Amino acid sequence: MSTWEIILNKLETGEIRSAQKVDGHWAANSGVKEAILDAFRAGKLVEHNGFVDKHNLLPRRFAAGQGIRVVPGGTSVRRGCHVAEGVIIMPPSYINIGAFVDEGTMIDSHVLVGSCAQIGKRVHLSAGVQIGGVLEPVGQVPVVVEDEAFIGAGTVIVEGVQVSRRAVVAPGVVLSRGIPVYDCVRERRLAPGEPIPENAVVVAGSRPLNSRLAWARENGLQAACALIVKYRDEKSDASLELEDILR
């Protein structure tokens, strides 16, 4: 059995991951990502149920005994993904190679979980959520959504952004390296690459464009940002928090 095949098997069982926490910080597992790339290079195109893909990376199949609910309607979970017991996947959704989805998570309709993304326990990914993936460069950390986070409909999280435990992200928010996040509670701007803090409630916002752009200033133009407007307590419900904030 080739090294890449062993790695893909262990990714599916959860024995290894394409990223993990090291001394409190998420880090990519470069060796695992190299093996995934080797699998792509080794694959040969084949026809499969009306599609064409690499013969060694075809979609996974699940059995009822695994305790994973995959609702009919166009969902695909690629080879080399870990999907834990209690996960529900609504159609159509796609989970790409190297991703890790932990137990009890809800993946709603039209959700993308990109390659090597790390999704924690009891996370709710609402309809239309896009979680970016990354295979290259192999040392780049993927998007991470930690335990019990709630990600609202239509949210886009890309470029290795990390959302910490129990954070709530409102519908339509875009989180990337290039979009600043302002903490209105603690009155600070998060540093580039800094994770969304635990229990933070994040909504979409805007800010004036760079003051050096006179024409933009004269026309009152704004650029997108994200705003932390509240922190949840241990008893608060994510959906109720959002309803109160967005009223």
pLDDT, one tens digit per residue, over 5-30 is: 999 999 999 999 999 999 999 999 99
- Residue 32 falls inside a structural domain: no
pLDDT the model gives residue 153: 98
Using DSSP bridges, classify how beta strands 188-189 and 181-183 pair: parallel, antiparallel or unpaired. antiparallel
Residue 150 lies in domain: 60-246
- The mean pLDDT value for 240-245 works out to 60
CATH number at residue 94: 2.160.10.10
- Residue 22 falls inside a structural domain: no
- Whether the per-residue pLDDT at 118 is higher than 80: the answer is yes
Residue 223, token pair as written in the block: 């650029």
Give percent above pLDDT 70 in the chain.
95
- Residue 160 falls inside a structural domain: yes
Round the average pLDDT of the chain to a whole number and report it: 94
Q: Which of 129, 125, 134, 119 is nearest to 165 (CA)?
A: 119
- Residue 49 falls inside a structural domain: no
- Residue 199 falls inside a structural domain: yes
- Residue 27 falls inside a structural domain: no
pTM: 0.93
- Residue 52 falls inside a structural domain: no
Count: domains in the chain: 1
- Residue 223 falls inside a structural domain: yes
Residue 148 and residue 152: Cα distance in Å, rounded?
13
Q: Which of 166, 224, 223, 171 is nearest to 195 (CA)?
A: 166
